[in-house]
Amino acid sequence: MKQFKSRHLPKHTADKGMKSISAFLDGEERQQIDNAPWDDTGDLPLVSFSLAHNQQGIYLKYSVKEKHMLAHYKNINDPVYKDSCVEFFIAFAGDRAYYNFEFNSIGTALCGFGDGKNDREDLPVDIIATINTLSTVEHQDTETGLYNWELTLFFPFEVFTHHHINNVTGEACRVNFYKCGDELPEPHFLSWTPINHPYPEFHLPGMFGSVVFV
């Protein structure tokens, strides 16, 4: 099973706000979202992320370079996977059910919980609104032709509404991370772990990897 470690983010760094958190995550080990089970064209986004945690919650930063960018959806629980989208799935304590957190490049969120793709329960809008986001989007680079964007996220433990969590230090959770863009001119579907499935599908908890919160 693919695995990595998430380090502790100091409280004084978190207290300074999202820009400080983003800078901290820039210094953490980056994981690549570079598995493309359903596409071998080679013209795919370059995507990485880093993850940290503390007694307040979980911190995640994505960095993306891609040829096309779309940010159409503006309301919580809109179908942001149709835009330029990054996703974070996590299951706690060996649970079969898992949370899905999906965001377009401007931070609009779609979040749910359930055992599989067809029995998802949307998280409440007021709970999703507590997720802090910091989005940075650069215009298309004239030399590379790519859009560069970053999204920094803070998940307070309260967003995990089906669990009573106040600390993850020492825990190992099953996770996966994705990049997609269903309605981009050139749709793509990338994952952190390798996926063996005949068509694009992210709701496959049996193919999650693992993160250890140290």
Copy the structure tokens of residue 83. 């835009």
Domain ranges, residue 96: 3-213
Query: Is 175:182 a contact under the CB 8 Å cutoff?
Result: no
Query: Is 117:28 a contact under the CB 8 Å cutoff?
Result: no
What does the pLDDT read at residue 40? 64
- This prediction has a pTM of 0.96
What does the pLDDT read at residue 169? 97
* 33-62: average pLDDT: 92
- 145 has pLDDT over 90: no
Rounded CA separation 105/35 (Å): 20
* 92-111: average pLDDT: 96
What does the pLDDT read at residue 46? 95
Rounded CA separation 13/118 (Å): 39
**What are 51-83's pLDDT values in tens digits?**
999 999 999 999 999 999 999 999 999 999 999
Q: What is the CATH number of the domain that holds 136?
A: 2.60.40.1190
Q: Counting Cβ atoms within 10 Å, is residue 18 exposed (0-12), middle (13-18) or buried (19+)?
A: middle
Which of 133, 127, 208 minimizes the C-alpha distance to 160? 127
Which residues make Cβ contacts (< 8 Å) with residue 27, sequence separation at least 6?
none
Average pLDDT over all residues of the chain = 95
Query: Is 195:207 a contact under the CB 8 Å cutoff?
Result: yes
Q: Total structural domains in the chain? A: 1
